[in-house]
A and B are shown apart, each in its own frame.
Chain A
Amino acid sequence: MGPARDSFLFEIVYCHLSKDPSCDSVRYINLSFIPVELNWLSFSLTAFFWIFAFVNAALISVLMLIWGERRLIGKFQARLGPNRWGPLGLFTPIADAIKVMFKEDVEPTLSDKLIYVLAPILMVVPVFMIFPVIPYGAKSFLTNISVGVVFVLAITSINSLSVLMAGWASGNRFAIIGGIRAVAMLLSYEIPMGISAAGVVIIAGSLSLSEVVEAQIIPNAIFQPLGFLVFLVASTAELNRSPFDITEAESELVAGYMTDYSSMKFGLFYLGEFMATIASSAVIVTFYLSGWRGPSFLPIPGEFWFFAKWIGVIAIFIWFRATFPRLRIDQIMSLAWKGLFELSLINILVIALTMAIWPDPTSTQLLFMTGINWVVFLGSVYIFGKILSPNLTGNKIDKRKVIYGLD
C-alpha cells in the first residue's frame, strides 16, 4: 500500500508524520509521531496538508495573476497600471477581493435558483484538480496518475457546462446568448485540442504527464510546432480569452453569461477563469515546453525552469489579450472546423508516420523528424493561411486603400 510514494512532495510530509522505517533517509528532523500501524492517518493528514497548500497556492497565484495581468496590460497600453496600494500596487487584487466579498448578492427573480448557485462552484472546483497532477519537477508532483493527459483534457472541458448553466439559470437574454456561444465554441475547440494532444502522447508512448515530460528530449513546441500552434490557439479559446472571448464579449453582451451575477458568485467566475489560465499554462508547459527540463549543464533545479516557462506562457496569454480584437462567432467556428481541425489531423498523421518509421529514434533521427515536422508546419500553415483564409472569415477580403477626391 501507499499512494504516490515516488512523489517527493508526498514523501517529505509523510515521512515527517509517520514513523515508517522505509523513509528514514528522507527525514530531516525527527519529529514523526504517528506509528506505522496508523499509516492511514499519516496518509490522510499528508493529503489534507497538500490539498490545503495547493488550494491556497492556487488562490494566491490568481491574485498574483490579476495583479500581473493588470500591470502588464498597463505597460502594453502605455499607462502605469495599478500602483497605489502596496509596493507596485501589489495589494490591489486583495482590495478587489475584499470589495467583491462585501458586494450585495443579487439573485434575479427569474433565475433558476439551484443551478444559478451551482454554476460558479462548478466553474472553480474542477480547475483545482488540475494542479495536483502537473509535474512541477522531476519528483515534485503530488500524484502521477497513469491517464494524466486524458484527465487534464477532461477536467478542462467541464467549464463549458458551468457556463451553459450560468447562462441558462440567469434568465437573462445576454446571459443565454453567452452561454450558448460558449458551448458551441468550447465543444468545437475540444476536438483540435484533443487531437493535437494525441501527438504528444504518441511521442511519449504514455498518458502519464511525468513521462510526457521525460520523453521531450527536444521540447514538443520545437519538435511538433503544428501541434503546439493548434493547442495554443485551442487553449486560448477554451479559456474564453481574447480573441475568443465571445462568451463575455464586453462590447456586445455586457458580461455574457455572468451578466446577472454579483458579489462572490461573480468573484468565483472571475477566480475560475484566471485559475483556468494558470492551469492551462501549466498544461502547455508540460505538454509542449518540456516541463521541468532545462539545459542540463546548468545547476538549476527543474522547478525553476517549470515556473519560468509557466510565467512565460501566462504572459503570452496576456499579450494576446492586449493585442487582438475579437473574432465573430461564425469566424470562430470556421477557424475551429476548417482550420485547426485539419491542421491537428495533419500533425497527428505526420507524427504517427514518422514514429512508425523510427519507433526508437536516435538523436540524428530526432533532428530529422523535427525537420520534417517543420516543413509540414510551414507548408500547411501557409496553405491554410493563403487559400482558406477568405473562406475562414466568411467575408470577401481584399487589400484596401482609400482613393482621393479629384479637384
Chain B
Amino acid sequence: MSTELVTMNIGPIHPSTHGVFRMRVTFDGETIIDAEPIIGYLHRGSEKLAEERTYTQIVTLTDRMDYTASMTNNQAYILSVEKLAGIKPAERGVWLRMIAAELQRIAAHSVAIGFLINDLGAWHTPLLYLLREREKILELFEMMCGARITNSYLRPGGVFMDAPDEFWPSLNRFLDEMPERLNDIENLLTDNEIIVSRTQNVAVLNKEDAINASITGPMLRASGVDWDLRHRNPYDFYDKVSFRRPLGTVGDNNDRYLVRLQEIRESLKIIEQCLDLIEPGPIKPEEVPFLVRPGEGDSYVPIEAPKGELGFYLVSDGGISPFRCHVRAPSLMNLTLLRDMVIGYKIADLFVTFGSVDVNMGEVDR
C-alpha cells in the first residue's frame, strides 16, 4: 500500500526533546524513514566567552554546559587548567572532587534513567522516585559548596572550601539508603514486560559504528566496548580505587538503561572507597594564586563525564585568560548517530532512543 510521506518538525518546543532540540522527521505512516537533527537553539557562545574571562571565572561557564552534571564539567576544566599551569593539586581536594564527581554521576544517571522511562510513557512515577534521590545529592552539594546545580565547586589545585562536618554523616546515610532505592527501581522497571518489549532490540548500535562515530560513555559501553577513561586513563586518584565497568551485550535501548543503572552502583562503591582513603589536610595548595597565569602552551585532559568523554582543550598565550577554549562535548558526539539508529523504527521509538542517548542541550550547543 502506498502512503503519502509526512514530514514533521519535532521541537524545538516539545515535551520530550530534553531542551530545545529539533528534529525534522519524515514518517511513512508510523515508521520513521528519515530524521534530521537540527541543533543550535541553546548556543550561548561559552567557548568564546571563555576567552574574555580569567581561568577561575571560566569555572562558572562550565557549570552551565551540562547543567545536570556541573561537578564533572568543573572537573574536566580544572584538570585541563592544572595541566596547563603545572599545578599539583592538594590530596584532600582531589578526594573531595572525586566524591563530588561520583555523586554527580549518580545524579546525572538518575535524571537520564528517569527521563528515559518518562519518554516511554510512564506517567512520572519512576522519574519522581529517581529525582527524589537526586534531590538528596543536590542537598549534599549544597552542604559542600552552597549551590545545588551550578556548583562552581572546583578550583585550580583542589576545591574552594572543605566539606563541613555535618556533610559526612549525611553522605553516609545516603550511601546506606541508595542501594535499597536502586533495588526498588530495578524491581519496578528492569523486568517490566512493557519496558522490556519497548526497549529490547530497538535502535541497536553495534561496536564498530559506535567506535567509528567516536561515541563514548555509557552509550559506548552499552554497545559492549570496555572503554571507561577512569580505568583506561586514570585522572585524579581513580587509579587508587577499584570499580567494575558494566557493559551491554546488544547495544539497544535496554542495554543503555541497564548500564546506567549498574554504573550508579559502581559509583556508590567508589565513593565508599574515597571515604576510606580521604585524610585531613589542605584542600588547595597555598601557592596557587587566585589569578592563574600559565605559560604558553596547550592542554587537553579527557575525563569520563556521566555522558561520555568530556575534555577542555585550552590554548594559552601566557595571559590571564585562555587564548582559545574548545570543549569536546560527549552529548554532541553521541547525538551524531541518532539518525542511523532510529530509521525503520516507529515514532514512539524515536523519543525513547533520544532519551537513551541521554543528551543535554546545554552541552550540545554550549
Contact = CB atoms under 8 A, between A and B. Distances in A.
Contacts of B247: 402-405
B300 to A, nearest CB: 24
Nearest to A174: B8
Contact of A404 (B6, B194, B196, B246): B246
A322 interface: yes
Contact of B15 (A242, A251, A394): A251
Interface string A366-403: 00000000000000000000000100111111111111
Contacts of A404: 244-247
Most A CB contacts (10 A, CB to CB) among B125, B249, B351 go to B125
Nearest to B6: A173
Contact of A395 (B125, B197, B259): B197
Nearest to B120: A325
B249 A394 contact: no
Contact of A328 (B125, B254, B346): B346
Contacts of A254: 14-15
Given A78-B132, A395-B200, A243 B6 contact: no
Interface string A164-199: 000000000110010001000000000000000000
Interface string A307-322: 0000000000000011
Most B CB contacts (10 A, CB to CB) among A245, A250, A398, A400 go to A400
Most A CB contacts (10 A, CB to CB) among B255, B259, B348 go to B348
Contacts of A406: 226
Contacts of B245: 404-405
Interface in B187-215: 191-198, 200-202
B350 to A, nearest CB: 8
B23 to A, nearest CB: 12
B298 interface: no
A82 to B, nearest CB: 15
B121 interface: yes
Interface residues of A, number: 46
A87 B128 CA distance: 25
Contacts of A400: 200, 249-250, 254-255, 258
Nearest to B124: A77
A73 B123 contact: yes
A397 B121 contact: no
A329 interface: yes
Nearest to A76: B125
A321 B123 contact: yes
Interface in B118-166: 118-125, 128-129, 132
A245 B124 CA distance: 14
B275 interface: no
A397 B200 contact: yes
Interface in B166-202: 191-198, 200-202
B66 interface: no
A402 B262 contact: yes
Contacts of A249: 121, 348
A325 B348 contact: no
A252 interface: yes
Interface of A: 73, 76-79, 173-174, 177, 181, 242-243, 245-246, 249-254, 321-331, 389, 392-406
Question: Which 9 pairs from chain A and chain B are nearest by CB?
Answer: A326-B121, A393-B197, A405-B226, A405-B245, A251-B16, A402-B246, A325-B120, A325-B122, A77-B128
Interface of B: 6, 8, 14-16, 27, 30, 117-125, 128-129, 132, 191-198, 200-202, 221, 226, 228, 231, 244-250, 254-255, 258-259, 262, 346-351
25 contacts: A77-B125, A77-B128, A78-B129, A177-B6, A242-B122, A243-B194, A249-B348, A251-B16, A251-B121, A253-B347, A324-B122, A325-B121, A325-B198, A326-B194, A328-B198, A330-B30, A395-B197, A395-B200, A397-B200, A400-B249, A400-B258, A403-B246, A403-B248, A405-B228, A405-B245
